[in-house]
């Protein structure tokens, strides 16, 4: 007897969910891997970064809010939208409701979505790179059988330098890296978790890509993809010149891969800034693995990034206070909620 697609064994090994703090290289990675003829990708899809997806009853209950752009935040960064760029992905609200009606679980729904994306892009692997997927990598690993998880990690000080060019203040940028990175690390115990370092990727892209392709079980053609002379076309297209990011980034994804951003914080952050960052700490209400560091400086050391002399806690001056930056960042987040007609005040995750 033929079984419908959602009755087949629910193996999602051809779905790869990528997450990491913003400015950690997820977009650059997606731009490169989408050139592989077997891999499909695109702009931030904002699907797998919602906790509701991993509890089907909750998902059905909250679907109207998700589709209405008023979803509750899953973490520090406010992401109220769901399945964005639907024209690009060939998806409609009606199609989503059809998938829901055919499904009795989150994995069945995701299998239908996956089947559509593979067919739409004529690919064998779908690669989704919304940075805030980091909030749900652990949940995805538990609920979605055999799903591939990739966590992009980068030196928090360089991330802060980059985010500040995009309008974040020191406290907000430091908190975002600390919270987002810790959330991604929660998935380390998942059997299909892979951790990629931005620094290793830009320093030796061929080796890292070959490792990734082996993990995804596709042919290794990394050299062709990173050789700018070959100009291999990719699926991932965005009108970068019409967005604000190119004005703030040191480079855009279509530029040649470069190491010039490694250690840039040494030029952009003062000793006082580094001391300040070192004080940022997760509140006790943030539930993470007890072995995971809870402060910015300790997390850098845990991830084996060189700890600068300026970050030695013994040299931190008592007159450095977090409050002004913290209040400013919180008010910025409140305004974002208000402008989107939210009634959810942003949570406080650090101090």
Lowest mean pLDDT among 134-143, 150-159, 229-238, 249-258: 229-238
Q: Where are the domains of the chain?
A: 12-228+262-339
The confidence band for 124, taking pLDDT boundaries of 50, 70 and 90, is: very high
46: left (phi over 0), alpha (psi -120 to 50) or beta: left
pLDDT given for residue 252 in this prediction: 54
**Does 325 have pLDDT greater than 70?**
yes
Band of residue 1 on the pLDDT scale cut at 50, 70, 90: very low
Question: Per residue in 226-240, pLDDT tens?
Answer: 765 555 555 555 554
Is pLDDT of 88 > 80? yes
Quote the pLDDT of residue 318: 46
* Bridge partners for 140 per DSSP: none
For residue 213, the model assigns a pLDDT of: 96
Name the average pLDDT for the chain: 88
SS3 286: coil
Q: Where are the alpha helices (DSSP H) in the chain?
A: 26-33, 56-67, 86-89, 93-102, 106-121, 137-143, 156-165, 170-185, 198-203, 205-216, 222-226, 245-248, 265-268, 271-279, 296-302, 323-339
Q: State the pLDDT at residue 2.
A: 39
**pLDDT value at 304 more than 80:** yes
Q: Which CATH architecture has domain 12-228+262-339?
A: 3-Layer(aba) Sandwich (3.40)
Handedness of CA 296, 300, 301, 307 (dihedral sign): negative
pTM equals: 0.89
Q: d(Cα 41, Cα 345) in Å, to the nearest integer? A: 33
Query: Is pLDDT above 50 for 3?
Result: no
């Amino acid at each position: 007897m033929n079984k419908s697609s959602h009755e087949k064994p629910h193996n999602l090994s051809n779905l790869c969910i990528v997450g990491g703090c913003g400015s950690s290289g997820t977009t650059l990675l997606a731009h490169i891997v989408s050139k592989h003829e077997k891999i499909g990708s695109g702009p931030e899809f904002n699907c797998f970064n919602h906790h509701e997806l991993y509890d089907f009853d909750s998902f059905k209950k909250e679907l109207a809010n998700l589709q209405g752009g008023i979803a509750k935040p899953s973490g520090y960064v406010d992401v109220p939208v769901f399945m964005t760029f639907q024209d690009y992905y060939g998806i409609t609200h009606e199609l989503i409701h059809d998938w829901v009606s055919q499904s009795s679980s989150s994995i069945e729904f995701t299998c239908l979505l996956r089947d559509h994306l593979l067919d739409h892009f004529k690919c064998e692997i779908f690669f989704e790179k919304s940075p805030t997927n980091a909030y749900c990598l652990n949940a995805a690993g538990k609920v979605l059988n055999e799903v591939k998880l990739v966590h992009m990690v980068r030196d928090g000080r360089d991330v802060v330098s980059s985010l500040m060019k995009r309008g974040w203040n020191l406290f907000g940028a430091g908190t975002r890296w600390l919270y987002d990175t810790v959330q991604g690390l929660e998935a380390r115990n998942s059997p299909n978790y892979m951790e990629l370092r931005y620094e290793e990727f830009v320093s030796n892209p061929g080796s890292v890509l070959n490792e990734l392709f082996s993990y995804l079980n596709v042919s290794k053609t990394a050299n062709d993809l990173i050789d700018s002379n070959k100009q291999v076309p990719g699926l991932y297209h965005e009108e970068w010149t019409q967005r604000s990011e190119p004005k703030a980034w040191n480079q855009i994804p279509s530029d040649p891969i470069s190491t010039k951003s490694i250690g840039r914080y040494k030029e952009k952050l003062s000793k006082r800034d580094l001391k300040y960052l070192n004080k940022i700490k997760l509140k006790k209400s943030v539930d993470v693995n007890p072995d995971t560091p809870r402060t910015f400086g300790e997390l850098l050391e845990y991830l084996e990034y060189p700890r600068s002399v300026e970050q030695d806690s013994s040299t931190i001056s008592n007159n450095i206070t977090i409050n002004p930056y913290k209040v400013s960042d919180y008010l910025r987040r409140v305004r974002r909620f208000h402008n989107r007609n939210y009634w959810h005040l942003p949570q406080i995750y650090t101090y």
